[in-house]
Amino acid sequence: MIATLKKIYTLEEYRAIADQAPERSEYRDGEIVPMPGGSLNHSRIGRNILIYLASLLRGSNFEAINSDLRLWIPEYQRGLYPDVMIFEGEPQLHGDRNDEVLNPVLIVEVLSPSTADYDRENKFRIYRSIPSFQEYLLVAQDEVFVEHYTKKSTGWLLKDFNNLDQSILLESVGLELAIAEVYHGLSF
């Protein structure tokens, strides 16, 4: 057997590559991991959530941001691209970077078949190291199903939603997210 060595990149090397690359990639403790492309449903759900939450948050102290902005997680040396993030007040930038943030209160991931397990387990564990992080939404793209995690003093509470008539109380931002708005324009 021949062992293959994987190249380890410094953060500066990753940033230089990411700034020039046509596709996005995540930085995972020295490794550059290409991000898979999304489906039409994935894109529509992400758009629906962003537009709906942004409109509800207009005029408040909260801001919804799309997946173009990299979330830097210092404890794990990870640069990740959540589908939607919400910030209370001004997003805290990582050093002098204007493309890396540190402090979302809410993160949304639209699940893809290739990344669903990672989003539920490893990525959620990594996100939990963010002091400001209070809520996590995992949204299925092939059926009406949303997993809602809320940070409590005793740990993380999970509630599932699978009906278009339901709404999710987003405690961190003080509003309700209608499931029908999440899946608006989709058919399965």
DSSP-assigned states of every residue in 53-118: HHHHHTTSSEEEE-TTSEEEEGGGTEEE--SEEEEESSPPBSTT-SSEE---SEEEEE--TTTHHH
Answer yes or no: is 56 within a domain.
yes
Q: pTM higher than 0.75 for the full model? A: yes
Q: Does any domain span residue 5?
A: no
Q: What mean pLDDT comes out for the span 5-19?
A: 80
Q: Is residue 7 part of a domain?
A: no
CATH, residue 96: 3.90.1570.10
Could you report the per-residue pLDDT of 19-74, keeping only the tens digit for each? 787 777 778 878 878 776 678 999 999 999 999 999 999 999 999 999 989 999 99
- Residue 3 inside a domain? The answer is no
**Mean pLDDT across the chain:** 92
- How many domains in the chain? 1
Closest CA to 36 of 72, 67, 76: 67
Which residues, 6+ apart, have CB-to-CB distance to 52 below 8 Å? 177, 178, 181, 182
In a domain, 73, yes or no: yes
- Asked if residue 13 is part of any domain, the answer here is no
Domain that holds residue 125: 38-182
Q: What is the structure's pLDDT at 170?
A: 98
Place of tokens 């805290």: 92
Residue 162: band (very low, low, confident or very high) from pLDDT cuts 50, 70, 90: very high
Q: Does 1 have pLDDT greater than 60?
A: no
Percent of the chain with pLDDT over 90: 74
Residue 46 lies in a domain: yes
Question: Do the domain assignments include residue 14?
Answer: no
